[in-house]
Amino acid sequence: MNVQLKTNDLEAFFMPFSANRQFKKAPRLLASAKDTHYFTQDGRKILDGTSGLWCVNAGHCRPRIVEAIQKQAAELDFAGTFQMGHPKAFEAASRLVNIAPKGFDHVFFTNSGSESVETALKIALAYHRAKGNASKVRLIGRERGYHGVNFGGTSVGGISPNRKMFGTLVAGVDHIRHTHDLAKNAFSKGEPEHGADLADDLERLVALHDASTIAAVIVEPVACSTGVLIPPKGYLKRLEAICRKHDILLIFDEVITGFGRLGTPFGADYFDVSPDMITGAKGVTNGTIPMGVVFLKSHIYEAFTTGPENAIDLFHGYTYSGHPMAAAAAIGTLDTYQEEGLLTRAAQLAPYWQERVHALKGLPHVIDIRNIGLIGAIEFAPIPDAPAQRAYSRFVKCFERGLLVRQTGDIIALSPPLIITESEIDQLFDIFTAVLKEAD
Ligand SMILES: Cc1ncc(COP(=O)(O)O)c(C=O)c1O
């Protein structure tokens, strides 16, 4: 049924990360979706250039996932996982461990990326305590990092507008510098050449705070939400080595880079780096039912399972950890990824994708283009005294012409579903090029 909303029907919903009044004056409402497209209420077809919100990796309303959710809803609606269980949660965990990078043999379930981050940060603190290193309590993030919106994630996050409304946040947090360097690396194809040494900024924080006080470092392998900052060649390996040297846990936040976005199952695979924990969400259920995951190596899990067998191992969890519907959706999603080879498909598309995205060079106001896997980003020179306006107006124009992109600051990010074809990539860039040519 096509529900028509009247203008004032939009008032009640306080929309997240949105300019509510501006949106409600000129709403963009999506009514249905199939494969690589959305359809608006008035029947317009919109090419999904951003996989919903970086989550619909297998495309929209895929039959196996729809069927798994429908079946589960009728069979077992809810069962908890505190001192109880249901088979689908265990099945989903085993299936996830099978595609996780080497050494990750346990999964903790949450309901979102933000909750996965909180869980990983708390596990890091509890791990060191369990190991007799209770002074290791500091958490290190990175400038321009995004780790969701809960207190821990906001604190280790490094995007200033996300932080400044909310006071002092969690104590004992510090940040290493971000890796974005337009002067040296603009228009890099894939990983930029310059900046591996920025990882040494962690040594600065070790010198300042002492390693005996630092529990963990959390970074996104590719910092996507802040506008796609791709790590310089060798940077992540160097960060890993410094963490190892000082017994600091390394957490990769793979809420976006997980589940095939870079052309490998996880970013850890792509960069050949082996963190201690990996956080995920979004693509785990193809965006259908909220679910988050924290992948753990056995040395982390086993730090909690040495006490008496009847003792609770970790005083942490959510009512909906491993929810039956989410678990069923994850299994249907993994079936789809595996049957269609989607966890590595971005690697096949990447050369063509790179060629098309870099062909935008020279269009008005474009000051940088970046790409990795099936991700692209175009950065615009800001309009003086009107930051973000230039990219925002292009985002609106793209939508009017039938293309959904993601705008953040003066950057537009592109990350279509991994099922996209080359001719759809052509359509995407044809629309985008036309918008960039005509916009002022
Ligand atoms: C790297 C990263 N971490 C955490 C999150 C938060 O996830 P959620 O919005 O599901 O809480 C996101 C969301 O975009 C993300 O990109």
Candidates 114, 224, 286: which one to mutate for ligand 1, based on the most atoms within 8 Å of Cβ?
A: 114
From ligand 1's centre to the CA of 291, what distance in Å?
Answer: 11
The DSSP result for 161-227, as a single string, is: HHHHTTTT-SSSEEEE-----HHHHTT-SSS-SS-GGGGGHHHHHHHHH-GGGEEEEEE-SSBTTTT
Give 144's pLDDT tier (boundaries 50, 70, 90).
very high
Say if CB 266 and CB 100 are below 8 A apart.
yes
Q: Which atom of ligand 1 is nearest to the CA of 113?
A: 7
- DSSP secondary-structure letter at 387? T
State residue 4's pLDDT score.
63
Q: Which atom of ligand 1 is nearest to the CA of 148?
A: 6
Task: Indicate if ligand 1 lies below 6 Å from the C-beta of 254.
Answer: no
pLDDT at 52 over 70: yes
From ligand 1's centre to the CA of 307, what distance in Å?
Answer: 33
Q: Which atom of ligand 1 is nearest to the CA of 54?
A: 14
Say if CB 116 and CB 280 are below 8 A apart.
yes
All structural domains of the chain with their residue ranges? 7-58+341-438, 65-339
**pLDDT 10s digits, 151-166:** 999 999 999 999 999 9
Return the ∠ at Cα 233 (arms to 230 and 239), rounded to 5°: 85
Q: Which atom of ligand 1 is nearest to the CA of 145?
A: 1
pLDDT at 440 over 90: no
What separation in angstroms does the CA of 271 have from each of 295, 324, 356? Answer: 17, 33, 24
User: What does residue 40 show for φ and ψ, rounded to 5 degrees?
Assistant: -80, 170
Say if CB 305 and CB 281 are below 8 A apart.
no
Candidates 57, 218, 255, 282: which one to mutate for ligand 1, based on the most atoms within 8 Å of Cβ?
A: 255
Task: Indicate if ligand 1 lies below 6 Å from the C-beta of 371.
Answer: no
**pLDDT 10s digits, 87-130:** 999 999 999 999 999 999 999 999 999 999 999 999 999 999 99
* pTM more than 0.95: yes
Task: Indicate if ligand 1 lies below 6 Å from the C-beta of 47.
Answer: no
**pLDDT 10s digits, 306-356:** 999 999 999 999 999 999 999 999 999 999 999 999 999 999 999 999 999
The residue type at 384: P
For ligand 1, atom 7, name the residue with the nearest CA: 113
Q: Which atom of ligand 1 is nearest to the CA of 282?
A: 10
From ligand 1's centre to the CA of 146, what distance in Å?
Answer: 7
The average pLDDT across 377-393 equals 97
**pLDDT 10s digits, 408-428:** 999 999 999 999 999 999 999
Which is nearest to 83 in space by CA: 322, 273, 327?
Answer: 322
**Which class in CATH covers the domain with range 7-58+341-438?**
alpha beta
For ligand 1, atom 13, name the residue with the nearest CA: 148
Return the ∠ at Cα 231 (arms to 245 and 177), rounded to 5°: 65
Give 8's pLDDT tier (boundaries 50, 70, 90).
low
Percent of the chain exceeding pLDDT 90 equals 97
What separation in angstroms does the CA of 97 have from each of 72, 102, 116? Answer: 22, 9, 16
From ligand 1's centre to the CA of 440, what distance in Å?
Answer: 32
Helix axes 342-358, 422-438, angle to 10 degrees: 30
Task: Indicate if ligand 1 lies below 6 Å from the C-beta of 356.
Answer: no
Task: Indicate if ligand 1 lies below 6 Å from the C-beta of 118.
Answer: no
User: What does residue 379 show for φ and ψ, rounded to 5 degrees?
Assistant: -105, 135
From ligand 1's centre to the CA of 96, what distance in Å?
Answer: 19
From ligand 1's centre to the CA of 274, what distance in Å?
Answer: 21
Q: Which atom of ligand 1 is nearest to the CA of 292?
A: 10
Task: Indicate if ligand 1 lies below 6 Å from the C-beta of 146.
Answer: yes
State residue 6's pLDDT score.
58
Architecture, CATH, for domain 65-339? 3-Layer(aba) Sandwich (3.40)
From ligand 1's centre to the CA of 139, what distance in Å?
Answer: 18
